[in-house]
Each structure stands twice: as C-alpha cells, then as structure tokens.
A and B are shown apart, each in its own frame.
Chain A
Amino acid sequence: MTSITRRLFLSLAAALAPASAIAHHGWGGYDTSKSFTVTGKILKSTFENPHCEIEMEVDGKHWHFVLAPPSRMQARGATADLIAPGKTCTVFGYPHTSKPDEARIEYIVLEGKRIELR
C-alpha cells in the first residue's frame, strides 16, 4: 500500500472504530443504557440459526435471551451442551426497547469462563 492510501485507510479505521463498538448488527432495538447482569438456571435453549437463544427465570421474571449465531458460539467455546437446560449461567445484556421479556446478550459466563458474543 502506498503511504497516502495507507494513511487514508488508517484514519478511516480510526474514525469508524468507536462507532463500530456500539453500532452493530441487530442491536438497534436494545437499550444499551439499561445493561444488567443476572445469573440463573437455563430452562430452555435453542442452538439454531440465525441466533441461539436461552430462556431463564430470574426473580420471578421469565426472560428470552438472544445470544450469537451457532457457528460463533461454537467457535468461542459456548457449545450446545454448555447452554443445555439445567445448566447455570450468568448473562450480561441489554433489554429490548419494546419486547419486555427479551434481552440481547453481550457476554455470557459458563462454568466460570466469560465468552464474548458480539
């Protein structure tokens, strides 16, 4: 790469970097200002495209947590057996702005291991 295109590329990358941390696929409908962390037992799970999902009951509230696509889950070590019903996990995520029982999960803690889902 010539130095001018290289400089252009780097400045473009720098300009876009902070935006890419918040603006990401499918996260528009979730309120990032109301992030929360909860731990509970998984009641139901689907390891399917387009996104894996788990259901948990926390303090009497039934939640649907939207995770990552199965291929990414697999690649990062969040395998289907680790999110099977009966397993305990901790999730950090953001509630949906209009569906009160749905949240998008930023990272999940399974057997003491934190796995980023973004």
Chain B
Amino acid sequence: MEQAAPSIFLTLQETALGHAMRSSPALYPAVEILHIIGFVVLVGSILALDLRMLGLGRTIAIPPMAQLLLPLSRAGFLLAICMGFLLFSADASHVVKNPAFQSKLLLIAAALANVVIAHAGPWRHVERWRGEASGAAKATALISLVLWLGAICAGRLIAYF
C-alpha cells in the first residue's frame, strides 16, 4: 500500500496558492517558463565557469569571469527555486513522493554543499592560481558540473515517474 504524504504537503496544495496554480490556465505554464529561465541561467553560468576551471578557455582570467558569472548563477538559482516552489505547490502531496523529485532535491543539496566547500576552501586562494585553478578547485568544478547537470536530468524525469 502506498504511504500517504505528510499532511504539510496536502495543506500546501490546498492553500490559495496551490489552487491558483492549478485553476489558472496561464499561471502554471508561465511559472514553468520562468523556472526554465532560472535554471538555464544558473546551470549555464556555472557550466561556463566550471569548464574554465577545468582548463578550457585559458586566455580568459578566472577572477573577472567569476565576477560576472557567480552573481548570475545566484540570481538564476533564486528564480529557479522560487518558481520551483510554486510548481511544487500545485501537486505537492504527489510530487514529494516522486523518486525523480527526491533525487533532484538530493542533487541540489549536494551541489550547494559543494559550493560551500569550494568557496570555503580552494577559492580562498584564487589570487595565487596564476591562470590555472588548483587541483582542489578543479575537483570541486568537476563535482559541480556533474551535480548540476544531474539535477536537470532528475528534474526532467519527474514527469516520467
């Protein structure tokens, strides 16, 4: 027998927000579009920076590149998370049990932990890198790449489980 979702998720989908997300014909697709724009900006900017860290495009200096791309990735993350929460509110009690959705949350949590580790560790020595990221920084870049792309895969697969 399938286990019932905790009541907090049922409560969420029965709020005015959840109702509006389901009943308005235009709201759901509009929020979906903004969700996509959010994670495209997030993962696109992170992908470019990670690839630079891993050795691509060596003529571009890492610090100014990071100066542009890190704020972009934060803005994209904020948009994707907010819009994702709205989409979730439409069908929270079912989606929370979806294995692809659960994997996606774990991948995002791991990717965020990796951000904290990267910036608390190897990124503190960014001035000493001399055009090439340190080995530890490269490792976090590779992990970042895999985790964020994995989150996109898991997100797309929610509809198939």
Which chain A residues have a beta carbon within 8 Å of chain B's beta carbons?
25-26, 28-29, 46, 48-50, 69-71, 74
From B22-30, B71-79, B107-115, B120-128, give the one contacting chain A: B22-30
CA separation between A58 and B22, bound complex, in Å?
27
The reply to whether A70 and B160 contact each other, CB–CB distance below 8 Å, is no
Give me the interface of B with A, judged by CB distance under 8 Å: 21-29, 90-91, 159-161
Query: For the complex, what is the distance from the CA of A49 to the CA of B159, rounded to whole Å?
Result: 13
Enumerate 22 A-B pairs (CB-CB under 8 Å) in ascending A order.
Answer: A25-B159, A26-B160, A29-B160, A29-B161, A46-B22, A48-B23, A49-B21, A49-B22, A49-B23, A49-B24, A49-B25, A49-B27, A49-B90, A50-B28, A50-B91, A69-B28, A69-B29, A70-B25, A71-B25, A71-B26, A71-B29, A74-B25
Residues of the B chain whose Cβ atoms lie less than 8 Å from the Cβ of A48: 22-23
Supplied contacts A28-B160, A69-B28, 10 more A-B pairs, CB within 8 Å: A26-B160, A29-B160, A46-B22, A49-B21, A49-B25, A49-B27, A49-B29, A50-B91, A70-B25, A71-B25
Interchain residue pairs A-B with the least CB separation, the first 8: A49-B28, A28-B160, A48-B22, A26-B159, A71-B25, A49-B22, A70-B25, A29-B160
> How far in angstroms is the closest Cβ of chain A from B97?
11
Q: In whole angstroms, what is the CA distance A69 to B27 when docked?
A: 12
Residues from chain A with Cβ under 8 Å of B22 in the complex: 46, 48-49
B95 CB to closest chain A CB (Å) equals 10
Name which of B21, B22, B25, B28 has the most chain A CB atoms within 10 A of its CB: B25
